[in-house]
Amino acid sequence: MKISLLQQMYKDVLVGIPLAKESHHYTSLLNLCIEQSPEKDESCNWMHLPSTNGGIRSHQDTDMSDAVVPTTDDISNSFANMNSSFCPREVMLLQLTLIKVMVAKAESQEIEFNTRQKYCEIFVLLLKEAKIDSKLICLLGSYDPLLSHMASKSLASLVYFQLKEENALNVTWLTFSLKTLSGFPGNTQVAECLWTLTTIIKDILKDKVLPKAGILKKLLAPLDAVLEGFYNSILFHHFDSHRYTSPYSEAANNLISFVDLLEALLASRIELEQPLRCQRVLFLKVSYVLNLISSSIHYLIKKLFIMLLKKCVLYKSREDAKSGSLFLRNPSLYEDMGALSNGVLQVVNLTWLNQIPLSEKASYFGGSEAAPGGDTQGSSDQPVLRALSLVVLKALEFKCQNSATEAEIKGEFQSSMAQLLIFWRSHLKSSPQSHPVVHPCEWLSLIFIEQDDDMWEAAKAVLLIYLKFDRLRHDAADNLSQKEEETWNFLTHASGCNPHCIFLFFLEKIAFDSSVLLDFLISSETCFLEYLVMYLKLLRKDWHQFVDVCNHFDTKHSTFKSISSVQPPPQEKQSCMTDESLQNACREQEPQTLISLASSHNYLVFTTEQRDNEVSESNQSNSLICTDSTSLLGSLQSLVNYDSSDDSELESDGKECLVNTKQVPLNDESEMRIRETRFSYADNKRNTLKSEVLPLKQMGSNTSSCVTCMLSSDNIIPLRITIYKSTKCLEELQKAISRLQRRNLFPYNPSALLKLLSHVEKMSKNVNPQ
């Protein structure tokens, strides 16, 4: 009978139908059937709870490791042989669900006022007369995990309701929480207590009307000292890594529940002008968490704490974006971030990163194994790898930003970046299809390319570090010598934090596609706009460095530097080196040059003379690189404007690219007019009317050779591939933004950004004249 009445009440509440009967009637329906012993022990040691098979058991705060817990099959058979209308468990679950739904309805402005008032009357009767809060607390210790979970949710809803409607904290719940947390590790209801508190905080944060500051302070102030003591106890005084080797143990459940609470406390600190100690303790005593991460606890718990640290270092960035600088409004955050940064950098310099064995198997949807043929990037857990990297970079950023002199931070910066580079190399293996990483600045894009928001946070951190160092250097000396500038440039590249290098490596990864940059600018999920504005300002005053880095990129992708250093045979204007002569020349190079040749991926160089030494139009490339990489061929084709449909057909061929050239005399033979020179790997049979460049032949572990037609060293025009692509990408981005702005489709005013992009376009004209 009771179950049918509850079902009807549930339907009425869902639809919003007013409850017609008096409040006491509904209170009796919602009152939990839990009988307390005459002694009324506050610890609920003698509460009689309905077991999952419909019987009654005595709930005791004792070790239940030897208890026989019914299996799923036993429970299913019991339910199958029992009328559901008489199952105490089903009745209790419906009661708990109704309480939670009614609290939500009572807070909704869409429900009529009289109906909401009725719900409030029922809650007052449940709390004052039925002592529903005491019964829910006792139900937290149920052996049935679903009952325990629902009891926690319902209890949190009622405590939240009292805070909001009565501006009062539930004394019964507060007493239980204080006793449970202060009694750790002796108390066995720690996880359930933490669940309830976490849910209350989240409910307060989700409320759009409630004055959060006052309610949060009323909730957390009485628990402040106990929560800090619990933090010290569970993470330090009573921490034993052997108790956390299984994620299913009670100890692991307590620790995982505490991570959820710490995350809620972190999210709530923005609401208070002066955060409480329980909201700051994670920052001030981060060493406990760092030691835990490097211990032998289960990997799942390590991962949760690492992700929590990532949220800590990103806390300031994301809240600044919402409401301005937090340091000005909340000085305690400055102290907290300083303590966290110092703690992280201290252990990083002690090889802490190498003590964290990342899981070799990430989690995959539908199973624990990667799909056959899938690229797992060296099998390390990529989200954790990115999170740890971001924690170190953001800690370095804060430390550098708050350093007064270069000497104060330079040593720690170099040491931390060296440890980070070692960490990246050990966990991110190159796949057989990819080229080996040969430059430290490339690691950043490789690590973060799959996670946009993290990637731009990392890039912004590195850029801010660079700008701070640059400012400190110029403040210390007005005029820096050329040697000092070279030393500085070497340091930035060796440490993997040269902003021009990082930006160009990223553009390479996205094939210089301006539409990708436009997506980042429009998205509100990344800090790309902030990063791009800072970088373009740097680019405006550091243009020569950008050009130098672009030239190094062109050298990296070709053998131009090695070939041009060879003394050509004496010719009046042009010469053609044979395969044999180039092979001999390559053998004469220094070991360092040979290594650079070996790592150039068989790139080929073809140069042509231009009339009056002018730079050709974009459809006449001065020097083109052909590789066995289809992607690079495709990007090179974009530099050529085909004038006929016949030429356009070649664009679809991933193995060929077409370039118009001038006359090229070949040695002592008669002049041969080459109107179209085709670089082809597929057809190397004909060599009469076409000048073909063949792939490099392997001459050993570190040498290569090629057939190349080239000019004398006096008439060589430098490669401009990278700077052309990068500036062209920014120019296309500028046009796309302007087009959207004219149509009022851009989400914000991009005037300042367009001005910076326009300045870059003007500077690029001097390098890429049209």
**Which of 284-298, 466-480, 635-649, 738-752 comes out lowest in average pLDDT?**
635-649
- Name the DSSP letter for residue 694: P
Q: Is 685 buried (19+), middle (13-18) or exposed (0-12) by CB count in 10 A?
A: exposed
The domains of the chain are located at 1-34+86-168, 169-288+295-314
At residue 100, the 3 state secondary structure works out as helix
At residue 642, the 3 state secondary structure works out as coil
pLDDT at 769: 55
pLDDT digits (tens, 9 = 90+) for 25-75: 999 999 988 765 444 444 454 345 544 444 333 333 333 333 333 343 443
- Distance (Å, whole) CA 458 – CA 451: 11
Q: Are 141 and 44 in contact (CB under 8 A)?
A: yes
- Distance (Å, whole) CA 573 – CA 609: 10
pLDDT digits (tens, 9 = 90+) for 437-479: 778 999 999 999 999 999 999 999 999 999 999 898 888 777 7
Mean pLDDT calculated for residue range 402-407: 84
Half-sphere exposure of 377 toward its Cβ, with a 13 Å CA cutoff?
A: 20
- Distance (Å, whole) CA 439 – CA 453: 23
397 or 429, which is more confident? 397
Mean pLDDT calculated for residue range 482-497: 88
**DSSP secondary structure, 33-70, as one string:** --EEPTT--TT-TTEEEE-TTS-EEEE-SS--TT--PP
pLDDT at 517: 96
Confidence label for 359 from pLDDT (cuts 50, 70 and 90): confident
pLDDT at 361: 55
pLDDT digits (tens, 9 = 90+) for 756-766: 999 999 998 87
Half-sphere exposure of 448 toward its Cβ, with a 13 Å CA cutoff?
A: 25
Q: Are 377 and 360 in contact (CB under 8 A)?
A: no
Rounded-to-5 percentages of helix, strand, coil across the chain: 60, 5, 35
Pairing of strands 604-607, 623-626: antiparallel
Predicted confidence (pLDDT) at residue 378 exceeds the cutoff of 90: no
What mean pLDDT, rounded, does the chain reach?
Answer: 74
Angle between helices 88-107 and 113-128 (to 10 degrees): 130
Mean pLDDT calculated for residue range 516-534: 93
Comparing CA positions, the residue from 739, 743, 738 lying closest to residue 754 is 738
Confidence label for 318 from pLDDT (cuts 50, 70 and 90): low
Express as a percent the part of the chain with pLDDT over 70: 66
pLDDT digits (tens, 9 = 90+) for 698-755: 333 333 333 333 333 344 345 689 999 999 999 999 999 999 999 999 999 999 999 9
Strand partners, 623: 607
Confidence label for 86 from pLDDT (cuts 50, 70 and 90): low
Half-sphere exposure of 323 toward its Cβ, with a 13 Å CA cutoff?
A: 10
Mean pLDDT calculated for residue range 86-113: 89
pLDDT at 44: 54
- Distance (Å, whole) CA 519 – CA 528: 10
Q: Are 386 and 451 in contact (CB under 8 A)?
A: yes
316 or 258, which is more confident? 258
Which one of 2-6, 489-493, 665-669 scores highest in mean pLDDT?
Answer: 489-493
